[in-house]
């Protein structure tokens, strides 16, 4: 099955083909190019083979309560900022299907702390301070992800297949696979198709270009140096996926053995691409 294209193509459309909470408790997104159903009748009638649409699966992991390198506890405020970056990405996807008000009411504000046994008056103090606890942090992440998924289902997002534009990063210098841009990036990576392409705000920053995030070139094998190590590390790498994954500047990697609880190199919420 072909993978999604790296870069930005204003004329290409994408749809959210699947979104679910996996058996490991992580959020899985499948994004597909096009969105139209495969027409078997046309293939028979025109003596053609069926062309499967390009698609890729991405898995969102919870923040880590400890620094990946030093294993030292991370401040609750840093973990909270990571969750806010994750929520901002969820809100952006959600606004493809509903209004800003609807999305905010569904999983904005302090909604991620609802139903976790903490009084609403204590959200600003107790809830945030407890993010250093692994079990509580996982519950908050899953609560937010489930509310995001519930909103998508309420809008029939996975049925009606609303089309959108999307920017995809290159996964790593040695892997020409697509990645969802890191959540800490403030520039948009997705926008509705009703925005004229000449008014599109999707673009690659100078930093992204300097790191080769827009480079779709397929690398050639280097027989003289089989142990090449990537050196273009991002300032504060966002996603370093757990398990057996390919290291990359934004921490998105190829799935090896998926653990029951995800973590990231710097502890910031991570995505890995199943390519």
pLDDT in tens, 127-184: 999 999 999 999 999 999 999 999 999 999 999 889 999 999 999 888 888 999 988 8
Question: What confidence tier does 186 reach under pLDDT thresholds 50, 70, 90?
Answer: confident
In tens, the pLDDT along 44-87 reads: 766 666 677 889 999 999 999 999 899 999 999 999 999 999 99
29, β-bridge pairs: 19, 58
Spatial CA neighbour of 140 closest among 99, 79, 98: 79
Give the tokens for residue 12: 């290409």
User: Alpha helix (H) ranges present in 66-156?
Assistant: 76-94, 100-107, 128-129, 134-154
Distance (Å, whole) CA 168 – CA 179 = 5
In order of 73, 122, 191, the CA distances from 65 in angstroms are 6, 21, 32
pTM: predicted TM-score of the whole model, two decimal places: 0.78
Contact 212, 243 (CB under 8 A): no
Task: Count Cβ atoms below 10 Å from residue 69 Cβ, excluding itself.
Answer: 10
| 173/8 Cα distance (integer angstroms) | 18
Residue 91 has pLDDT above 90, yes or no: yes
Beta-bridge mates of residue 170: 178
């Amino acid at each position: 099955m072909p993978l999604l294209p790296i870069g930005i193509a204003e004329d290409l459309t994408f749809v959210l083909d699947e979104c679910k909470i996996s058996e490991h408790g992580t959020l899985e997104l499948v994004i597909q190019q096009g969105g139209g159903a495969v027409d078997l009748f046309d293939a028979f009638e025109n003596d053609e083979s069926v062309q499967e649409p390009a698609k890729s699966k991405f898995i969102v992991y919870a923040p880590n309560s400890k620094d990946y390198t030093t294993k030292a506890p991370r401040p609750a405020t840093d973990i909270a900022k990571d969750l806010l970056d994750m929520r901002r990405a969820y809100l952006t996807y959600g606004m493809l299907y509903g209004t800003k008000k609807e999305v905010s009411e569904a999983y904005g504000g302090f909604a991620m702390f609802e139903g976790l046994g903490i009084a609403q008056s204590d959200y600003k103090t107790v809830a945030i301070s407890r993010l250093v606890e692994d079990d509580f942090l996982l519950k908050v992440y899953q609560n937010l992800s489930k509310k995001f998924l519930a909103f998508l289902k309420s809008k029939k997002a996975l049925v009606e297949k609303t089309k959108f534009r999307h920017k995809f990063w290159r996964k790593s210098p040695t892997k020409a696979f697509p990645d969802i841009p890191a959540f800490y990036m403030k520039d948009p990576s997705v926008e509705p198709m009703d925005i004229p392409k000449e008014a599109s705000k999707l673009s690659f920053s100078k930093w992204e270009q300097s790191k080769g995030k827009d480079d779709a070139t397929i690398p050639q094998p280097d027989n003289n140096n089989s142990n090449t190590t990537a050196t273009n590390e991002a300032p504060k790498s966002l996603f370093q996926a757990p398990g057996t994954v390919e290291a990359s500047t934004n921490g998105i990697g190829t799935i090896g053995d998926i653990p029951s609880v995800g973590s990231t190199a710097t502890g910031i919420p991570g995505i890995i691409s199943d390519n």
